[in-house]
Structure 1
């Protein structure tokens, strides 16, 4: 019985000491992977911005979206209601 208790305590303190040694390395690795994943999401956005034609400083260009308003008549009819207390 004493032998089992001693082994459990030894394993507990061994894990505790090893976690103090390896936890910073593990956290650094995980933060690098998260930063890499986060940067990958915006990599395409940066490429699109760089590919746009350069303008001289002070020039203004306005890009307009076409005004296409399509109404969907198959949605239904609006029904006005009154709230009853």
Structure 2
């Protein structure tokens, strides 16, 4: 009798969890999605806030945020050597 009672309790707990998870799963997923959206929005808001603080640009105006590094080449880098191909 004890074995049958234990199996029945385990089956009831299993099916109870299964039914409750079907009821509460959509709410838990919505909650997790909202939290993830808030975290992502917080990280994205840092960059968006910087862009909104800048003065608005007129249409067609060009701005350069970073000047490119220009590499200067020196003409005395090496010696020029003439060569002939040997066949």
TM-score (structure 2 length as normaliser): 0.70
Give me the CA root mean square deviation. 1.8
Q: Give the CA deviation at 1:5.
A: 0.8
1: CA distance, partners of 2:5 / 2:17? 18
Q: Runs of 5+ in structure 2 lacking a partner? A: 72-87
Residue 53 of structure 1 is matched in structure 2 by: 55
- How many residue pairs end up in the alignment? 69
Alignment of 1:5-44 (within 5 A): 5-44=7-46
Unpaired runs of at least 5, structure 1: 70-85
- Could you say which structure has the larger radius of gyration? 2
**Residues 30-56 of structure 1, C-alpha deviations (whole Å, 9 max, x = no match):** 011011101110111111101111121
Going from structure 1 to structure 2, the CA distance change for 1:63 and 1:14 (only over 3 Å counts) comes to closer
Structure 1 residues 24 and 12, CA, compared in 2 at 3 Å: closer, same or farther?
A: same
SS class of match (2:56): coil
Secondary structure, counterpart of 1:55 in structure 2: coil
Runs of 4+ in 1 over 4 A off after TM superposition: none
